[in-house]
Structure 1
Amino acid sequence: MPDRRTILKAGLLTLATPAILGGRAAHAQGNGLPITVSSYRLDRTQALFDGRVSIEGTNTTFVEDAIGDMNTAAFSGKGTNEVTELGLHPFMLAHANEGFRDYALLPVFLLRQFRHKSVFVRTDAGIATPQDLRGRRVGTPGYSSTSLTWIRGIFQEEYGVRPEEIEWVVANKDSSAGEAGKISEQEQQVPEGISISQGTPGLDESELLLAGEVDALFHAATPAAYVQGDPRISRLFPDFRSVEQDYYRRTGVFPIMHVLAIRRDTASEHPWLPRAVFDAYSRAKFEAYKIKDRLTWAADMLPWYSQELENTRALMGQNFYPYGMEQNRQTLETLFRYSNDQGLASRTLSVEETFLEESLEYFEDST
């Protein structure tokens, strides 16, 4: 069994990062072109932050930040980070509706989540199926966030429940602000034809649910009251794992939330850099896979961790978190379609216009 020093060296005890806890951290590594990269420190980026993997040809300063703040810095701020993690749908709205072209996307998908798990209901509301949400009040902290756009699209396509059939209530506080940062402007867009109102000031979206102001909640974060076992709240899909796996088997879609982006002027001036960034993030992810296979069973408290990893690979393949365009085009085009169908993006976007052109040909090397 690995000792504590081995686990520490692997980076498994450094995942509770300042960004997750509300702080910020930065460090530089390597020699070459000075660039700043902003992202979360996660298992798939840990090797970049601790220096086991570097972006070749660069002197990189890694800055930990929260997604709402990274969105705002890129779309509305100075955009000083040459490379940054961004919310996929906020980027889409900035690109389609605001003419934003400062950054182009790279096919590095840093956060993905199936979203059936993200729907919570009051147990006394009589909501047992997605169709029961018609005419109900649903709370959310940000209508046009990536996660909410996915949920609405899935509910319309899979269950026939259209966004305009729901009364939306926007909370003026977000219970996940500590992890996600302040909600960006692009996450607060509301299309025409939607019934929407503001919740009671001072209450976050989970408190609206507890107070009975809403019947259900769509939110990427799990409500604190649910985590604490409050009997008034349940998931709409109690066995969400089976529902999400069935969805993947039928559609091949693994929803993307966050993506990596690079400044277009930087990529133009240093044409070798985008590929170097892609390769480094890919190597860091494969380092995370190695740790999952060899050490995470010891560092993680889940008793059947290894079985879950094996089950995931049996369904989704060895590289179940793929980068590159080939395995992800369908998922991207699904969200592009959802956004336009929901009246959010002014047109249906394409991967060719949103991703850096040369990056469409990037493939991962797992060796």
Structure 2
Amino acid sequence: MDRRLFLQTLAAGLYAPTLASAQSGELPITVSSYLLDRTQALFDGSVAIEGTDAEFVQGAIGDMNTAAFSGTGGNEITELGLHPFMLAHANEGFRDYALLPIFLLRQFRHKSVFVRAGAGIEKPQDLVGKRIGTAGYSSTSLTWIRGIFEEEYGLRPQDVEWMISNADSSAAVAGAVSAQESQIPAGITVTQGKPGLDESELLLSGEVDALFHAATPAAFVEGDTRIARLFPDFRSVEQAYFEKTGVFPIMHVLAIRRDTAAEHPWLAKAVFDAYSEAKFKAYRTKDRLTWATDMLPWYSQELDNTRQLMGRNFYPYGIEPNRTTLETLFRYSYEQGLADRLLTVEETFLPESLEFTEATER
């Protein structure tokens, strides 16, 4: 059963019986995003964006990026990669959309570094002089990993050779790599991988020594023992990183067309409130039922441990709980020679959304 069908089936017992547009208002809008636990209630209509008749459509992030930044994106609300948006804003004068402080996908990224087993690469410093493969150099995840590795371990982007794969094993989920995910700065060494080989095949063939990739490489998922994580106990490493920095890396963010926001000044807050409510509804489901519907045997313990470290609202929306994380990525992008200038929160987010805050409990 694919993920969409599974969630529709689950929704029959937990939410509304069918996926439907919200029929609670008058303004027709289209929202493009992934169907996730934190957006499920919006897709199935059990949470509505007040004042709208919203149609929710699923998209892949690379395709959503390209549609927005090419000027062909007609959706009033869309999910975007945070760093591709930054590059379009800073380097291309892109102003069609403004960000809303709704952060739909976050991941710690120490888990996203893979090496050839037995190659003698046991710590980040061992990567000096090695060749690293990736599907998109300037993607959000890669920008985070490079920044973290330089700041925490002293490994600079110019200390390694980069190889761009000609295929991506996660393309079916992520979509085609957008132009903003393929920018190469001056001062680093970059080569192209062999045609037809995805990133994990480059590693297995010996073309590269390591992988930096947002998605788990296909060969690793299939259990190929020739690929290993650089950080086998990545959970402990990532938790220590959060305790030290307070940074929970942001990958995807929601954006609104500037012309739509100007014409309907109430809409941005209505969207924020609806997405926040949908997320809190997902929290409640995790407390009530996910321990049973999820196959992980210690799911409840993991949820408890996460809240002990990161708080009950461990996936916060709004600017102030996320300012440090946002400004860290802005700095990484500029320091890595990707963004032409150091961006600010105030210029990239819709001005009125800077003050949006969530209720502590719902």
Query: Given the two structures, how large is their TM-score scaled by the length of structure 1?
Result: 0.94
Q: Percent identity?
A: 74
Whole-angstrom distance in 2 between the partners of 1:13 and 1:161: 51
In 2, are the aligned partners of 1:90 and 1:146 still within 8 Å (CA)?
yes
Whole-angstrom distance in 1 between the partners of 2:17 and 2:296: 15
RMSD, aligned α-carbons: 1.7
Identify which of 4, 9, 14 aligns with 2:13.
Answer: 9
In 2, are the aligned partners of 1:337 and 1:348 still within 8 Å (CA)?
yes
Query: Residue in 2 aligned with 1:84?
Result: 78
In 1, are the aligned partners of 2:30 and 2:57 still within 8 Å (CA)?
yes
For residue 77 of structure 1, report the CA deviation from its aligned partner. 3.9
Q: Which amino acid aligns with 2:286?
A: K
State the SS of the aligned residue for 2:320: coil
In 2, are the aligned partners of 1:168 and 1:196 still within 8 Å (CA)?
yes
In 2, are the aligned partners of 1:33 and 1:59 still within 8 Å (CA)?
yes
For residue 124 of structure 1, report the CA deviation from its aligned partner. 2.8
Identify which of 192, 195, 204 aligns with 1:198.
Answer: 192
Relative to 1, partners in 2 of residues 1:209 and 1:11: Cα closer, same or farther, differing over 3 Å? farther
Query: Residue in 2 aligned with 1:20?
Result: none
Query: Residue in 2 aligned with 1:29?
Result: 22
In 2, are the aligned partners of 1:27 and 1:63 still within 8 Å (CA)?
no
Whole-angstrom distance in 1 between the partners of 2:16 and 2:299: 15
Residues paired across the two proteins, number: 353
Post-superposition CA distance 1:77-105 (Å, at most 9, x none): 41200000000000000000000000000
4+ residue runs of structure 1 moved beyond 2 angstroms?
4-9, 11-14, 26-29
* 1:271 equivalenced with 2:275 (yes/no): no
Query: Residue in 2 aligned with 1:22?
Result: none
Unaligned runs of 5+ residues in structure 1 are 15-25
In 1, are the aligned partners of 2:125 and 2:155 still within 8 Å (CA)?
yes
In 2, are the aligned partners of 1:104 and 1:355 still within 8 Å (CA)?
yes
Whole-angstrom distance in 2 between the partners of 1:5 and 1:141: 34
For residue 267 of structure 1, report the CA deviation from its aligned partner. 0.3
State the SS of the aligned residue for 1:202: coil
In 2, are the aligned partners of 1:12 and 1:299 still within 8 Å (CA)?
no
Query: Residue in 1 aligned with 2:287?
Result: 293
In 2, are the aligned partners of 1:142 and 1:187 still within 8 Å (CA)?
yes
Whole-angstrom distance in 2 between the partners of 1:37 and 1:176: 23
Q: Which amino acid aligns with 2:30?
A: T
* 1:218 equivalenced with 2:219 (yes/no): no
Within 5 Å, give how 1:54-93 maps onto structure 2: 54-93=48-87
Within 5 Å, give how 1:34-45 maps onto structure 2: 34-45=28-39
Within 5 Å, give how 1:223-234 maps onto structure 2: 223-234=217-228
Identify which of 300, 307, 312 aligns with 2:306.
Answer: 312
Identify which of 252, 255, 279 aligns with 1:261.
Answer: 255
Q: Which amino acid aligns with 2:172?
A: G
State the SS of the aligned residue for 1:295: helix
State the SS of the aligned residue for 1:169: strand
Whole-angstrom distance in 1 between the partners of 2:20 and 2:333: 37
Post-superposition CA distance 1:206-263 (Å, at most 9, x none): 1101111000000011112212221211000000000000000000000000000000
Relative to 1, partners in 2 of residues 1:132 and 1:189: Cα closer, same or farther, differing over 3 Å? same
* 1:361 equivalenced with 2:348 (yes/no): no
Post-superposition CA distance 1:96-129 (Å, at most 9, x none): 0000000000000000000000000001321011
Query: Residue in 1 aligned with 2:4?
Result: none
In 1, are the aligned partners of 2:11 and 2:44 still within 8 Å (CA)?
no
In 2, are the aligned partners of 1:67 and 1:87 still within 8 Å (CA)?
yes
Identify which of 72, 97, 101 aligns with 1:103.
Answer: 97
Query: Given the two structures, how large is their TM-score scaled by the length of structure 2?
Result: 0.95
For residue 5 of structure 1, report the CA deviation from its aligned partner. 8.4
